[in-house]
């Protein structure tokens, strides 16, 4: 008999899936306090939450029997994944449930913005008849720029095509063939900024995407452009957006998300007549709530009774015996993938993973899934996990090939990652104490620990480069934990990988990029 605790409001159809099974005892304690959750979690095999319950490391540590945490929604921000993984608890979410809902919210805001609907409603309710004041624009024939062509962005594209819109899309990890099949012309960001009539963003919020549309990008846009954000607050820089709206530099904006939620209601965003706002309603439809409830209930049920784990965000399903052998390779593969995913330049068309040594004797799909998860995480964000990573790669037209090598290579036990762009393979192995190491990057031998904050540099092999790096980091009080150097040949191309104790500001990266003989510089978080 399994005991399941549901601590946030879940649609009755989801609850019914669990209560109908005699193997489960289900307790619904909606809105439970953190103190009560901490005191009773020890009795439960599974916990189902939405966004209200904070599943902290303390809660997970107190959960003696817990096997599964299910989040009825896309994100897992309220679940301590590291603690769950360390405890051996599967953490899963529902990435499919709100796709249509969020896409429809995007189209609703596009229409409301184009036709000045909120402003017209407010005017009419105040007793005014101002038809000419609210003249709008048609969507037919207009260019819609979509930044991010994952599930939601692609669904928006399909809906917008029904309105006769011309679709430009930016997604460096989607193949041209897949995009063309969906009637989307792949474009660079600058082309979208310069030509689109409407621009909508559908990308995860990361260090690189935060503020990606700011003053410089808005300056490239037509003064008739309208910006929409139903993804995450902060992707469009709020201060730059406010300034552009106030100066009528752009025609309008529509926001469903904000830098801080709830937002500051004194912000000009809520007073400008060319800005449409809504309170993060992307997933707020009865259908989406129903879909995620059914999806998470079925997933938790299957996980508990041993019928498979899907949409797990921390680890794939493995037998106890296989897991003991594969576990260090799962970690190596994930870290190699995350490292490569932040370094890769250009569109990925093919990924080849070659296994040799002990790992090649096991079922390597779990390791490939972990590597794919790591590779796609910096690109796709919270929608990807170790279970769905392979499907997302397929959706994006990325060919994945596994190779089992029986020949003795440079290292007895190794994983070779070859990403088809303009870069050379990445080679990883385990040290004698089974710790992950990256030992070859861009055809240059190194031995670096893929962990924490890192700085990757390609440079001409000239004196003084290490000194420049050390001086710039020291000026920011950033401590160097380790540094690895390698080169193709004397005076040739060199690689520097620096492990540091804290995040490196983008201003430092920019200074490095402008330094003589430094060809490429990028901060990485693994």
Mean pLDDT of the chain: 89
What is 1-95+283-310's CATH superfamily? NAD(P)-binding Rossmann-like Domain (3.40.50.720)
Q: What is the pLDDT of residue 484?
A: 87
pLDDT tier for residue 392 given thresholds of 50, 70 and 90: confident
For the four alpha carbons of 378, 381, 385 and 388, in that order, the dihedral sign comes to negative
Tell me the pLDDT tens digit for each residue of 191-229: 999 999 999 999 888 888 999 999 999 999 999 999 999
Q: What is the pLDDT of residue 522?
A: 87
Q: Which of 366-380, 387-401, 414-428, 468-482 is least confident? A: 414-428
Mean pLDDT of 143-148: 97
Task: Name residues whose C-beta falls within 8 Å of residue 436's C-beta, 6 or more positions apart in sequence.
Answer: 328, 331, 332, 335, 336, 428, 430, 449, 450, 451
Q: Say which of 125, 131, 177, 261 is annotated catalytic.
A: 261
Q: What is the pLDDT of residue 258?
A: 95
Mean pLDDT of 150-160: 94
d(CA 377, CA 4): 30
**Coil vs helix vs strand at 167:** strand
Is pLDDT above 90 for 78? no
pLDDT tier for residue 63 given thresholds of 50, 70 and 90: very high
Q: What is the pLDDT of residue 320?
A: 52
d(CA 8, CA 136): 42
Strands 68-71 and 90-92: parallel
Q: What is the 3-state secondary structure (H, E, C) of 445-463?
A: EEEECCCCEEEEEEEECCC
Q: What is the pLDDT of residue 319?
A: 53
For the four alpha carbons of 163, 169, 175 and 176, in that order, the dihedral sign comes to positive
Percentage of the chain exceeding pLDDT 90? 51
Going by the DSSP 8-state scheme, the letter that residue 113 receives in this structure is H
Q: For this structure, is 462 an active site residue?
A: no
Q: Report the first-to-last Cα separation within the chain, whole angstroms.
A: 39
Higher-scoring residue by pLDDT: 377, 211: 211
Q: Which of 60-64, 279-283, 398-402, 417-421 is least confident? A: 417-421
Q: Are 508 and 476 in contact, with CB atoms under 8 Å apart?
A: yes
Q: Say which of 249, 280, 310, 453 is annotated catalytic.
A: 280
CA dihedral 306, 312, 318, 319 (to 10 degrees): -40
Q: What is the pLDDT of residue 462?
A: 87
- Of 113, 309, 372, 328, the closest CA to residue 229 belongs to 113
Q: What is the pLDDT of residue 323?
A: 66
Mean pLDDT of 490-501: 86
Both tokens of 262, joined, read 């709830």
CATH architecture of 451-526: 2-Layer Sandwich (3.30)
pLDDT tier for residue 321 given thresholds of 50, 70 and 90: low
Higher-scoring residue by pLDDT: 346, 415: 415
Mean pLDDT of 390-415: 82
Is pLDDT above 90 for 256? yes
Q: Which of 250-264, 395-409, 445-459 has the highest mean pLDDT?
A: 250-264
pLDDT tier for residue 434 given thresholds of 50, 70 and 90: confident
Q: What is the pLDDT of residue 309?
A: 76
Q: Which of 51-60, 325-334, 465-474 is least confident? A: 325-334
Q: What is the pLDDT of residue 95?
A: 78
pTM of the shown model: 0.70
On the question of a common fold for 1-95+283-310 and 451-526, the answer reads no
Q: Which of 226-235, 427-436, 441-450 is least confident? A: 427-436
Both tokens of 173, joined, read 């990890």
Q: What is the pLDDT of residue 106?
A: 98
> Chain centroid to CA 523: how far?
17
Higher-scoring residue by pLDDT: 513, 325: 513
Q: For this structure, is 232 an active site residue?
A: yes
Please tell us whether the domain made up of 99-277 is placed in CATH 3.40.50.720: yes
Q: Say which of 151, 226, 232, 437 is annotated catalytic.
A: 232
What is 315-441's CATH superfamily? D-3-phosphoglycerate dehydrogenase; domain 3 (3.30.1330.90)
Going by the DSSP 8-state scheme, the letter that residue 494 receives in this structure is E
For the four alpha carbons of 244, 209, 174 and 441, in that order, the dihedral sign comes to positive
Tell me the pLDDT tens digit for each residue of 275-295: 999 999 998 899 999 999 999
pLDDT tier for residue 54 given thresholds of 50, 70 and 90: very high
Both tokens of 33, joined, read 């306090």
Q: Are 389 and 366 in contact, with CB atoms under 8 Å apart?
A: no
Q: What is the pLDDT of residue 423?
A: 53
* Peptide bond preceding 262 in cis form (omega within 30 of 0): yes
Tell me the pLDDT tens digit for each residue of 65-74: 999 999 998 7
Domain locations along the chain: 1-95+283-310, 99-277, 315-441, 451-526
pLDDT tier for residue 173 given thresholds of 50, 70 and 90: confident
């Amino acid at each position: 008999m399994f005991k399941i605790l549901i601590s946030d409001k879940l649609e009755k159809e989801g609850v019914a899936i669990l209560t109908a099974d005699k193997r489960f005892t289900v307790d619904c304690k909606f809105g439970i306090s953190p103190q009560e959750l901490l005191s009773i979690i020890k009795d439960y095999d599974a916990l189902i939450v939405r966004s209200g319950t904070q599943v902290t490391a303390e809660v997970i540590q107190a959960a003696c029997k817990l096997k599964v945490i299910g989040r009825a929604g896309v994100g897992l921000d309220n679940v301590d994944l590291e603690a769950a993984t360390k405890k051996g608890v599967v953490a899963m979410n529902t990435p499919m449930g709100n796709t249509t809902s969020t896409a429809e919210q995007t189209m609703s805001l596009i229409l409301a913005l184009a036709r000045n609907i909120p402003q017209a409603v407010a005017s009419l309710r105040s007793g005014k008849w101002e038809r000419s004041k609210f003249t709008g624009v048609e969507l037919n024939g207009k260019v819609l720029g979509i930044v991010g062509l994952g599930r939601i962005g692609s669904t928006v594209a399909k809906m917008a095509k029904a309105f006769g819109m011309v679709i430009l899309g930016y997604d460096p990890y989607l193949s041209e063939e897949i995009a063309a099949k969906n009637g989307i012309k792949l474009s660079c960001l600058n082309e979208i900024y310069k030509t689109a009539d409407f621009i909508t963003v559908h990308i995860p919020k990361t260090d690189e995407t935060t503020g990606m549309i700011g003053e410089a990008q808005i300056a490239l846009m037509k003064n008739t452009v309208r910006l929409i954000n139903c993804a995450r607050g902060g992707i469009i820089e709020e201060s730059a957006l406010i300034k552009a709206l106030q100066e009528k530099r752009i025609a309008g904006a529509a926001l469903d998300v904000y830098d801080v939620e709830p937002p500051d209601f004194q912000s000009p965003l809520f007073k400008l007549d060319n800005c449409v706002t809504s309170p993060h309603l992307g997933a707020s439809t009865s259908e989406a709530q129903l879909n995620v409830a059914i999806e998470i209930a079925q997933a938790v049920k299957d996980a508990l009774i041993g019928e498979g784990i899907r949409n797990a965000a921390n680890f794939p399903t493995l037998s106890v015996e296989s897991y003991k052998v594969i576990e260090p390779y799962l970690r190596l593969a994930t870290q190699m993938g995350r490292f490569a995913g932040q370094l890769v330049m250009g569109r990925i068309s093919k990924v080849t993973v070659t296994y040799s040594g002990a790992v090649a004797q096991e079922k390597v799909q779990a390791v490939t899934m972990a590597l794919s998860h790591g590779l796609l995480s910096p690109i796709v964000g919270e929608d990807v996990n170790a279970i769905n990573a392979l499907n997302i790669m397929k959706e994006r037209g990325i060919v994945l090939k596994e190779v089992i090598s029986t020949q003795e290579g440079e290292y007895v036990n190794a994983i070779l990652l070859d990403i088809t762009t303009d870069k050379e393979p990445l080679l990883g192995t385990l040290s004698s104490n089974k710790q992950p190491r990256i030992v070859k990057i861009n055809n240059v031998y190194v031995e670096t620990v893929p962990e924490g904050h890192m700085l990757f540099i390609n440079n001409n092999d000239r004196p003084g480069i290490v000194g420049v790096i050390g001086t710039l980091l020291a000026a920011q009080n950033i401590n160097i934990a380790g540094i690895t150097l390698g080169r193709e040949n004397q005076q040739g191309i060199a690689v520097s990988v620096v492990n540091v104790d804290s995040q490196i500001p983008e201003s430092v990266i920019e200074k490095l990029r402008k330094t003589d003989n430094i060809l490429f510089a990028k901060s990485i978080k693994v």
